[in-house]
Amino acid sequence: MKDSINIAIAGATGYIGLELIKLLSKHPKAKILYLCATKSIGKSIFSFDKSIKKKLPLITKIEKIDWNKIDVIFTALPNGEAHKIANLLPTRVKLIDLSADFRLRNPKVYKKWYGINHKSTKFIPKSIYSISEFAKRSLKKYNIISCPGCYPTSIQIPLIPLIEKKLIKVDNIIIDSKSGFSGAGKKIKQKFKFKHLFNSVRAYGVGSHRHMAEIDQELSKAAKKKVNVSFTPHLIPMFRGILSTIYIESKKNIKAKNIYNFLKKYHKNNFFVKMSKFNRPIGTGDVINSNYCQISVCQNRENNKIIIISAIDNLIKGGSGQAIQNMNLSFNINESLGLK
């Protein structure tokens, strides 16, 4: 176990990068040596977020990093950039990536959904896709850690245990997710030209959202057969938070209370997963500014039809917090360190 972990953050001025800085500034074993961005070189990170009080290095280019001083680099960059960094890294340095660059195991699927040729295919087998709760025993073996997307995190934490245990049918899973606009990044107005963007609820990526590939991949792995979900995301007029409502059908005579009891037992030792009381609706307010995933299991009108509601903070459990949780586990320290 290391006394301190020397860290670089690439993409430091984005929403996720700033959350990483705020959390790591309070982490007792984290030492931030480099804050990197393509613009604002030489500026203080304080000019981007006045709540960051700790004295930190000025923003620099990634080319200025002395890799001999670094144990881990967090990359919160546009898709395609982590490929380049992976090709440069010494083998001793861990890469914890928050983009999609190592999420998909098939480079052809990556090209289909992201429109980019994978430039680091040799590292795909050497990387791990890590929702922390499912990768605890494996993380230490990998130097490239791919953090899941925010929507997939909220969806997989309740669904994967049920699919692996064969408690639910997988041919008609329907997922309705809603996210605060921070999930779209700081350039949201360039990405979305919706009327009244910040004053309305709007479906987007209908039938074609990029996270579908990631969700299908991981649920298919759990089911050991092909799974294609119906998934529709929505932007809502708040800054942060994700609420996913998942409609499932159980097998045989398995009722909603059985599903609830199983998930409660399964996640008993997962510190950052909280189960609400049975049939109790939840909201993003239950998890904002935390690394928790809150799950509610509710009975539908028909006995074998069940509604699961899952809430996370997209910038923490769906981003920076899970990345730090993965770092903690990979360095064999308590997964909750710096995140409580």
Q: Which CATH architecture has domain 5-148+318-330?
A: 3-Layer(aba) Sandwich (3.40)
Mean pLDDT of the region 12-19: 95
CA distances to 29, 128, 226, 332 from 131, rounded to whole Å, are 22, 10, 20, 16
Each residue's pLDDT tens digit, 123-133: 999 999 999 99
pLDDT for residue 197: 73
Mean pLDDT of the region 177-197: 75
pLDDT for residue 182: 86
Model confidence at 189: pLDDT above 70:
no
% of the chain at pLDDT higher than 70: 96
Each residue's pLDDT tens digit, 137-178: 999 999 999 999 999 999 999 999 999 999 999 999 999 999
How far is the C-alpha of 223 from the C-alpha of 160, rounded, in Å? Answer: 8
Model confidence at 305: pLDDT above 70:
yes
- Is 93 in contact with 72 (CB distance < 8 Å)? yes
Residue for token digits 């959350």? Answer: 19
Mean pLDDT of the region 91-99: 96
List of E strands, the chain? 5-10, 30-36, 59-60, 72-75, 94-97, 127-129, 144-146, 174-180, 202-203, 230-236, 242-249, 273-275, 293-299, 305-312
How far is the C-alpha of 45 from the C-alpha of 128, rounded, in Å? Answer: 30
Instruction: Sketch the domain layout of the chain as residue ranges.
Output: 5-148+318-330, 151-314
Model confidence pTM above 0.85:
yes
pLDDT for residue 1: 63
Mean pLDDT of the region 238-263: 96
Cβ atoms within 10 Å of 179's Cβ, excluding its own? 25
Tell me yes or no: is domain 151-314 CATH 3.40.50.1000: no
> In the structure, what pLDDT confidence band is assigned to residue 53 with cuts at 50, 70 and 90?
confident
% of the chain at pLDDT higher than 90: 88
User: Strand 144-146 to strand 127-129: parallel, antiparallel, or no bridges (unpaired)?
Assistant: parallel
Higher pLDDT, 100 or 2: 100
Q: Please, is 233 exposed, middle or buried when counting C-beta atoms within 10 Å of its C-beta (0-12, 13-18, 19+)?
A: buried
pLDDT for residue 187: 66
Copy the structure tokens of residue 98.
């928050």
User: Strand 202-203 to strand 230-236: parallel, antiparallel, or no bridges (unpaired)?
Assistant: antiparallel
pLDDT for residue 252: 85
Active-site residue numbers?
Answer: 150
Model confidence at 192: pLDDT above 70:
no
Model confidence at 253: pLDDT above 90:
no
